[in-house]
Structure 1
Amino acid sequence: MLTSLTRRKRAAAILAVAASLAMAAPVVEARPGGGGGMGSRGSKTYAPPSATTTAPGNAAPIQRTQTQPGPTNPGMNPAAQQRPRFGGGFMAGLLGAGLLGALFGAGFFGGLGGLASMIGLLLQVGLLVLVVALAVRWFRRRQEGPVAAGHARTGLDQGPGPQGPARNGLGGGLGMNAAPAAAPAVAPVAVGKVNVGPGDFESFEIALNDVQAAYGREDVASLRNLATPEMAGYFEEELRANAARGVVNRISDVKLLQGDLSEAWSEGRNEYATVAMRYAIKDVTLDRRTNAVVETGEPEAVELWTFVRERGGRWILSAIQQGR
């Protein structure tokens, strides 16, 4: 009896600590692109940027992008790599149920009603998963043929131009027309060099301040002017999510502390530049009704911003990755 009572007290204490941690105001990265990677880097979307003095570690991979893996992007989509394999969540649930049962004195398998019931449940779930896997494989085989006949286009479509029916777009790599059915494969993109000078670095710093300020004002029109349609779409999704939560992200006092060039290259008419930047920022998420602080961000951030432009044009934001 005494042992059971001690276990229950211990469990209550653990749950109380967990609840207090969950109720504490979290420190999060609510700024544009904070906490993840998004956007497109042309043919280098799935390749890590080169390390720099400002960002010496590997940058976080791009998790949200409209650029599809292919001959010019041989890497696997990072989101696909992070999908949990079968057994992960389910077995974790079984383990959690067993631990809770032991914690409250019911035995390791007490939470499931005994070893026999657990084995029966496993067999039923395994059979169900097998049937679903076979069905998914069958549908994928049927879809592989039609999908291979075309290529999705991403980025900003500039309409008719001197190069053909559609010029190369910004923000999603090169815009490409669907290849004829008889074409064996898409030719690799020719990558050239781009010279980045002091004027370009000044433009990057101005863009850093302008994007952060527009995001803090929830100025969608300005974000569309400062970034590719893909990036502007991601920003709008984040702002809508904030509105649904009843919060607003206020950003101020952005100051570039250090920055250097990671990579600069050209692809057809498009020119890209990835820049590592360490900057100070005041990042606070407030309740829209009461102005109470809900979340706070770190006072400094290290990120890699990729900019793109048509040759001789204006740089606009194409991707954001977190530095490490």
Structure 2
Amino acid sequence: MRKFRLSTTALALLCAVSLSALGTADARPGSGSSIGSRGSHTWSAPPRTSITPGWARPMDQSATPRSAPGYGATPTTPMPGYGAPAFRPSYPVRHPFLSGFAGGFLGAGLFGLLSGHGFMGGMTGGTSFFGFLLQVLIIGGLIAFVLRLFGNRGQRSPMGMPSSAGATPFGNAGGSTPVTLTNDDYLSFQRLLLDIQAAWSAQNMRALASMATPEMTGYFNAQLSDLASRGARNIVSNVQFQRGDLSEAWREGNLTYATVAMRYSMTDVTTDSMGNVIDGSSTEPVTVTELWTFVRADGRGNWILSAIQQAG
């Protein structure tokens, strides 16, 4: 019995040490890391603000592939099923109809030759091998002309000016246009800050999914699962927004992004499965400054969270 009591005590101490290693700074939404995507600006440092005079910490995790050298972060493996490769798709991918038409047209002719019916119905009467070559040249020339015509159209903007070939929504900061935000936008950012913290504390994944991108929702789910596997739960309460400052806002295609530096205070407590506090304080609030990036589709939908970066 004495050995059993000693073993139980040792196990309890080990669990306490493991739970205390979670740390208050790493328990809030985002776990104190830089995660998510900022479109083509993901691997570029956000402009400094009055409350973030130093550089923001580069992304620790992002679904956006890094196509060019940035300011020092090495991206992790993108989450499955999310993100886009930073390359220009091949012509068959960009023009499946035209490519299918050309392939089917030529395929029908070759199939006719192999089946003994000749190219495009056979060569009868005065048609000779030279006639066959002439047909191939004429048809090939027509197909090449059509493909070149549509290919050039695909490389021009609606105004007819040449666009940047190979530009994609990711990895090309030059494809963005600055935008101006309204007071309603800033109110939405503050509301999202409070609502996301509340949903996190309630472990409400459905609510989090309605306020964040699938990528960020995946990160939140993984972080909450990690806490649960350790028999712990993080509760953020008494969140008070103190100050905010716009870092940058821009548009890419039909998406509008806004990165905002936000300083807020909160009570950050980590408890065990019995509700006992194992880290943090329920009486002493902590102050945090982070850069949150929001995104929305122009003309439809609301702002949702797409990234969190640590200041300094």
What TM-score, normalized to structure 1? Answer: 0.60
The one of 223, 235, 238 aligned to 1:238: 223
Query: In 1, distance between residues paired with 2:303 and 2:253?
Result: 16
The one of 147, 156, 179 aligned to 2:89: 179
Corresponding residue of 1:296: 280
User: For structure 2, which runs of at least 5 residues remain unmatched after alignment?
Assistant: 1-13, 95-164
Describe the shift of the 1:318–1:177 C-alpha distance in structure 2 as closer, same or farther (beyond 3 A): same
Query: In 1, distance between residues paired with 2:181 and 2:81?
Result: 26
Q: Is structure 2 residue 302 aligned with structure 1 residue 309?
A: no
Query: In 2, distance between residues paired with 1:264 and 1:23?
Result: 41
Describe the shift of the 1:23–1:319 C-alpha distance in structure 2 as closer, same or farther (beyond 3 A): closer
Corresponding residue of 1:320: 308
Corresponding residue of 2:176: 191
Instruction: Specify the structure having the higher radius of gyration (Cα).
Output: 2
The one of 58, 63, 68 aligned to 2:60: 63
> How far apart are 1:79 and its partner, in Å?
3.3
Query: In 2, distance between residues paired with 1:69 and 1:244?
Result: 32
> How far apart are 1:75 and its partner, in Å?
2.8
Tell me if the contact between 2:201 and 2:234 (Cα under 8 Å) persists in the aligned partners: yes
Query: In 2, distance between residues paired with 1:53 and 1:24?
Result: 36
Corresponding residue of 1:92: none
1:304 aligned partner, one-letter code: L
State the secondary structure of the residue aligned to 1:78.
coil
User: For structure 1, which runs of at least 5 residues remain unmatched after alignment?
Assistant: 1-18, 82-151, 156-171
Tell me if the contact between 2:19 and 2:230 (Cα under 8 Å) persists in the aligned partners: no
Tell me if the contact between 2:62 and 2:75 (Cα under 8 Å) persists in the aligned partners: no
Dislocated runs of 4+, deviation >6 Å: 174-178
State the secondary structure of the residue aligned to 2:47.
coil
State the secondary structure of the residue aligned to 1:234.
helix
State the secondary structure of the residue aligned to 1:48.
coil
Q: How does 1:11-50 map to 2 (within 5 A)?
A: 25=20, 26-50=23-47
Corresponding residue of 2:73: 78
Query: In 2, distance between residues paired with 1:202 and 1:28?
Result: 26
Describe the shift of the 1:266–1:154 C-alpha distance in structure 2 as closer, same or farther (beyond 3 A): farther
State the secondary structure of the residue aligned to 1:314.
strand
Size of the aligned set, in residue pairs, is 215
2:186 aligned partner, one-letter code: F
> How far apart are 1:296 and its partner, in Å?
1.6
Query: In 2, distance between residues paired with 1:186 and 1:259?
Result: 36
1:45 aligned partner, one-letter code: T
Corresponding residue of 2:252: 267
Tell me if the contact between 1:28 and 1:295 (Cα under 8 Å) persists in the aligned partners: no
Residues 212-231 of structure 1: CA distance to partner in whole angstroms, max 9, x if unpaired? 10000000000000000000
Tell me if the contact between 1:153 and 1:177 (Cα under 8 Å) persists in the aligned partners: no
**Percent of aligned positions with the same letter in both sequences?**
41
Q: Is structure 2 residue 220 aligned with structure 1 residue 223?
A: no
> How far apart are 1:153 and its partner, in Å?
9.2
> How far apart are 1:294 and its partner, in Å?
1.6
Query: In 1, distance between residues paired with 2:34 and 2:280?
Result: 20
Q: Is structure 2 residue 196 aligned with structure 1 residue 207?
A: no
1:207 aligned partner, one-letter code: L
Describe the shift of the 1:23–1:62 C-alpha distance in structure 2 as closer, same or farther (beyond 3 A): closer
